Amino acid sequence: MTDQNFQRQGNDIYTSVTIPFTEAILGTKVNIKTLSKTVSLSVPAGTQPGTILRLNGQGLAVTGTSGDLFVEINVSLPKTLTDEERKIIEEWEE
């Protein structure tokens, strides 16, 4: 997982996280830093790059109302493959 950067829009906070493609395919849990704590976010199996998941109430609290934290999922692809990995992927595509 890469370091997170936050952007604010009103009471809502936006960030992103990068996960390996295997975790995007199989699903995973990632730790996400909010403004006040770290929470576990479930990333469902089959998550596509660019998917945005919402953590309700984890944004900025202003005048008693809390915004949400939106997390964009980025997927890291391997730059090189072993012959065995390439064979598995080619068989999977058939």
Tokens of 91: 């068989």
Average pLDDT of the segment spanning 42-69: 93
User: What does the pLDDT read at residue 94?
Assistant: 65
Contacts of 9 (CB under 8 A, 6+ apart): none
User: What does the pLDDT read at residue 2?
Assistant: 44
pLDDT surpassing 60 at residue 1:
no
C-alpha torsion sign, points 50, 93, 44, 39 = negative
User: What does the pLDDT read at residue 62?
Assistant: 83
70 closest CA partner among 20, 11, 3: 11
pLDDT surpassing 90 at residue 7:
yes
Asked if residue 75 lies in contact with residue 19, where contact means CB atoms within 8 angstroms, the answer is yes
At the top level of CATH, the class of 7-93 is: mainly beta
User: What does the pLDDT read at residue 74?
Assistant: 97
pTM of the prediction?
0.85
